[in-house]
Chains A and B, each alone.
Chain A
Amino acid sequence: MDANFAKENEPMYDAPLGKNDVDAKDTKIAAKDVQVYYGDTHAIKDVSVDLLDKTVTAFIGPSGCGKSTFLRCLNRMNDTIDICRVEGLIELDGEDIYDKRVDPVQLRAKVGMVFQKPNPFPKSIYDNVAYGPKIHGLAKNKAELDEIVEKALRRGAIWDEVKDRLDAPGTGLSGGQQQRLCIARAVATEPEVLLMDEPCSALDPIATAQVEELIDELRASYSVVIVTHSMQQAARVSQKTAFFHLGNLVEYGETSQIFTNPVDPRTESYITGRIG
């Protein structure tokens, strides 16, 4: 396990972040027997998984295995797709998120999301970050909003780069900066869970390293779920890993264990590069 926390020992940030003990954590999201259908296609089959608070969980698996679909179920982003149907139980802090009483808007404020391609709005950097707090009414006045924006940008590890040009359009930043802006934007609404759908796939290695570093920092405050294609990335940033294959959750466990000693032969095949 220690191998996976190598980064913690880097002197770049404060120590307390890494001191979380996996065993002591609560379950944040619990999924039981989740089925997802796209029209007639059965995309997710019988997936049950408990995602922990203050932990980075990685979803890995070959393309089309359903990991992104499952991720999008967790904040009901699939609602925006007409033909998509979700069955089974998904609970956030013990509350069914597919309950009739749930407004997806309220849910998504608690379960934020960062997308594959950086998608800053065609607005200023400031407005990009302030958008979420504004719609959720998190700030009473301009000063408070300024504070929230600054905090979010700092947490997104991009404050120093943009603090002098908050009025510049968010689309003018580089790819890595854009993605960190999007993370800052997601963080600004004070979510409890942060879902990331292949957040580094459109970035170059340097930007990827910066974002990965950021993800590790975010673990202190949130439950982070990350879908990734890169097994190295999963190994670098996550504490827990779930391996999906053909819509099934094949194996879920400690990242170190999945990568060093997988139980299921399919997991082993994937990790050693035979399927994927």
Chain B
Amino acid sequence: MASSETALAAGQRARGLAPFLRSQMRNIAPFLTLIFLSGFFALASPSFATLDNLGNILTQVSVTGIIAVGLTFVILCAEIDLSIASIANVTGIAVAYFTLQDSYVNIANIPLPGAVAILLSILLCALLGLVNALGLTVIGIPSFIMTLAMMQIAAGVSALLVRGQIAYKVPSLITTLGSGSIGGIPWLVIVAAIMLLGGHLVLTYTRFGRYVYMVGGNREAAEYSGLNVKLILGAVMVISAVCSGIGGMLGVAHFGSAQQNEFDTYLLDSIAAVVVGGTSLFGGRGGIGNTIVGLFVLGVLNNGLDHVNIDSFLKILIRGLILLAALVINVYAQRLREKAAE
């Protein structure tokens, strides 16, 4: 049996390299993009392809990476979370709000021990994620709209907490993880790597991870298989919010301040990282591996454009065009795969 299986599996592949490549396009295209961009910038600027700069890129994508872990779960389920940046922002502000600030900071905050502050902040983002989850599953609001509302709600809570001021102090653990380093490697990069690895392990090796892929692959079939689809969708919304919250807290330490609208660019960056990496917007295909490639594509692009002396206003447009190209590939890859399956 085993040998006939390998033979058949080989046969499936041997039907031609072209169909195989086509079915793998969502994994190959982002990788080629990454190689192309790296090659281009390495040739265009001598300061790009250095070890120092690699460190820069890693640090630059870390906060996005932490947020993108949770978002990958959500997109694999064919849902979306637009509240990630706002939740990151409010969690970062909350952890500062619960920390004793210097006397010149004019915020009516509630200083608490560091561990309590961190715990409360994580509780806050989990709670906001739970509201997303309930809106999506119990009430039945599409995630696009539900998280759009949450984006505003979280921004509102942020505004009420800081009232236009800026806070600087966060618990020492957060300061270390966000801006410290060990043996020359920033803790932020290590945390991001650990979270990405954790996300990958959960998605690949646990029952819950399988459920996420199955719900994303065919929600109707998942329900007819007796899975609790609402519970799984709710869980991914909470996971997304908690990842965002952690990204937010470390981000605040990394930037050195907590203030309103600090994370606005992270919404687009995180979605772009997941989608550029090749995770299907229709759910069920992709994973953390794709997200990592996507993060590097974005990181290399953002960093490389700084090295090649380009109009900084043009950068925004270029990023938009790259995202559009990735979306086109994403949708085509799905179609090609469906054709290959027929």
Are A and B associated in one complex?
A: no
Residues of A at the B interface (CB closer than 8 Å) are: none
Residues of B at the A interface (CB closer than 8 Å) are: none
